[in-house]
Homo-oligomer: A and B are copies of this chain.
């Protein structure tokens, strides 16, 4: 399926909100403003931190802040962070073991061609483009 997952869409909502903020935003603040549950927000923020899309400050008065400029953050980056690399990667030569298994097969070529085109398209859309 080639459609945006709910989680990826939520993450764009959150990132759009963060791109308007000067200071740190906590999970509870983000949840309240976006109408999402705190648990869901927390789950997404963890993934965005791991992908180094946002930076986090722990402890009281902590929170999250964008680590990248909105114009330098692509939809592809966000989707990869949320849905995992398998959602998008085009099986490049430096890939992991799984990729080698189907290398040289016709199936691998097709996946590479199609996923490569999708990947490319998504990397040409920035968060700034999405923030309407």
Contacts and interface: CB of A to CB of B under 8 A. Distances in A.
Interface of A: 1-5, 9, 12-13, 16, 75, 79, 83, 86-88, 106-107, 109-111, 113-115, 117-122, 124-125, 129-130, 132
Contacts of A107: 9, 13
Contacts of A129: 113
How many copies of this chain does one complex carry?
Answer: 2
Contacts of A75: 114, 117
A109 to B, nearest CB: 4
Contact of A5 (B1, B118, B119): B1
B1 A83 contact: yes
A59 to B, nearest CB: 32
Nearest to A111: B4
A124 B116 CA distance: 12
